Amino acid sequence: MSMNAALEDFQKAYYERSAFDVAQFLKTDPVDRLYDFWHSTSESRVEHDVGNAVNYGLSGIERGEAKGWIDVLVDFWRASDKIIKADQSHNQGKLSEQQSVAVYEAWKALVTTLQKYIGNGTLPHWAVFTLSYVANDLRKFAIQADAQLAKAKPATFSTGLSDDIADTTPKNQKLEEAARVFSRIFALCMNDRNPNMYESRKWAVYCIANLQFKTYFKLKTITLCKNLIKSIGAQADMPAWELYPKAHRVTYMYYCGVIAFLQEDYQRAEVSLVNAWSFCHRESTKNRELILTYLIPCRLITQSQIPSAQVLQEFPHLQALFGDLVRSIKKGDLAGFDKAFAEGEPEFVRRRVFLTLERSRDIALRNLLRKVFLAAGYEDLKEGQTEKDRIRKTRIPLAHFAAALRMGSGGGQAVDDEEVECLLANMIYKGLMKGYISREHAMVVLNKKGAFPGTGV
């Protein structure tokens, strides 16, 4: 195949000014197309062949811009050369650390070239989105190179929101280098002062920020994410939020929610996660599931609210993750909660929801104490009163709560009065029940209206 034929898709994408289609050309798959491009020339002729194809194939292109695309395509060919040779070695079981690093370095050169020509205005403004797609592949190659350098198993990759799950690779030298490249791209976009907002590189800000979020989460340097959020929030001349692509907004809101969640700012986390959930495409099952992974424990804290059975049934992974825990909370089964929490601990830790879910035991305890309140029944009717006038008994012996705690905790272990008083006082302090403890009479006196806020009694 000639170079002109190999660049046919690129030329079509260029004339359509499609950043996505240009980026699709600069992809490493499908493999057949990559091999065709690779076979179209050689190292000794690549600059000459690409130059002729661009200069004669893209009629009317300015000389400076042509030089920029020629350098980009030459770098892409050299990266393809390294990728194909690494792929051949991998198929033979001979992939070396040096080859993985060579792929990463070649792709970094491609990203750097694109960044340089976009930064100096040589390439058109829409190419910044091409840069964002190509930069995302740099992250993938960096992880692969680090995995080889650490003599670990090859990492697996995902383009969804689940990239926030921390990797176990002990060394991240190349990914840290890639993070610095992404920071320079982010600055390139943020610092654009083009008065024509239509041509502003700021349209790629959230896309690049999302790539940085994924990278920082992988590197376990989540604190750096706060600087990104603060930097974006301080910009007064950004395009209107609602004009950005919905995919960029949903991902950004998701990460803002997770970051606030990890900082234990659950109110702010809930707002961001609810917004991400509202705008997330209904068919994006995996992404919606990841949003709920943090929204469910967040709602347990902010609203003492458990997810409905319908929601859990819609997402089997969430059913497996939270199902037993939610059932125990709903029943006020403390022993069941402790068992489900212990069994799910490894996954809760991996997903960074362990500490938050641990606090949800208070909701299970509240539901258990509420059962005691309901079991106490109603006060006797006085003369002249009707069924509408019935009110629940609000003076309940401390011993009743102690008995419930022994049963709910499993094993019927003894619970002394001081411990019971401590638990009840803590629930009252947290606003999960309203009333006071009368130590003199060993009674708990509950509020006549809203003894257990948010539960209907």
What's the rounded Cα separation, in Å, for the pair 211 and 231? Answer: 15
What's the rounded Cα separation, in Å, for the pair 452 and 455? Answer: 6
Higher pLDDT, residue 329 or 163: 329
- CA distances (Å), origin 123, targets 61, 115, 160, 209: 11, 9, 29, 22
- Sequence-ordered alpha helix ranges (H) in 28-171: 31-39, 46-57, 63-91, 97-119, 127-149
Domain contains 114: yes
The contacts of residue 244 (CB under 8 Å, 6+ apart) are 203, 206
Reported residue count of the chain is 457
Domain contains 320: no
Domain contains 297: no
What's the rounded Cα separation, in Å, for the pair 376 and 362? Answer: 21
If pLDDT is split at 50, 70 and 90, which confidence band does 169 have?
A: very low
Percentage of the chain lying above the pLDDT 90 cut: 70
Predicted confidence (pLDDT) at residue 110 exceeds the cutoff of 90? yes
Q: 0.85 exceeded by the pTM? A: yes
Domain contains 306: no
Angle at 286 between CA 87 and CA 255, to 5 degrees: 95
Peptide bond into 245 cis (omega under 30): no
pLDDT score, position 412: 57
pLDDT in tens, 240-260: 999 999 999 999 999 999 999
Q: With CA atoms as reference, report the closest residue to 264 among 208, 315, 302.
A: 302
Domain with 25 in it: 1-158+168-223
What's the rounded Cα separation, in Å, for the pair 11 and 21? Answer: 10
Written as six digits, the tokens of 137 are 């592949």
pLDDT in tens, 435-455: 999 988 889 999 988 899 888
Peptide bond into 307 cis (omega under 30): no
Predicted confidence (pLDDT) at residue 165 exceeds the cutoff of 60? no
pLDDT in tens, 377-429: 888 877 777 777 778 899 999 999 998 888 877 665 667 778 889 999 999 99
Give, for 21, the enclosing helix (H) or strand (E).
helix 19-25
* Mean pLDDT along residues 105-117: 97
If pLDDT is split at 50, 70 and 90, which confidence band does 456 have?
A: confident
pLDDT score, position 104: 96
pLDDT score, position 163: 56
- Tracing tokens 């205005």 back to the chain, one arrives at 121
What's the rounded Cα separation, in Å, for the pair 416 and 398? Answer: 10
What's the rounded Cα separation, in Å, for the pair 285 and 443? Answer: 50
Torsion sign over Cα 77, 78, 81, 83? negative
pLDDT score, position 30: 78
Domain contains 21: yes
Domain contains 251: no
Sheet with 443-446, edge to edge strand ranges: 395-397, 443-446, 435-438
* Mean pLDDT along residues 133-145: 95
* Mean pLDDT along residues 137-150: 92
Q: With CA atoms as reference, report the closest residue to 169 among 151, 141, 145, 147.
A: 147
What's the rounded Cα separation, in Å, for the pair 11 and 25? Answer: 10
**Mutual orientation of helices 334-350 and 316-331 as an angle, nearest 10°?**
150
If pLDDT is split at 50, 70 and 90, which confidence band does 32 have?
A: confident
Angle at 437 between CA 431 and CA 440, to 5 degrees: 170
Predicted confidence (pLDDT) at residue 81 exceeds the cutoff of 80? yes
If pLDDT is split at 50, 70 and 90, which confidence band does 153 have?
A: low
- The tally of domains found in the chain comes to 1
Predicted confidence (pLDDT) at residue 168 exceeds the cutoff of 70? no
pLDDT score, position 381: 77
* Mean pLDDT along residues 121-130: 94
Domain contains 399: no
The contacts of residue 133 (CB under 8 Å, 6+ apart) are 19, 20, 23, 26
pLDDT in tens, 274-293: 999 999 999 999 999 999 99
Give Rg (Cα) of the chain. 30
Predicted confidence (pLDDT) at residue 235 exceeds the cutoff of 50? yes
Domain contains 179: yes
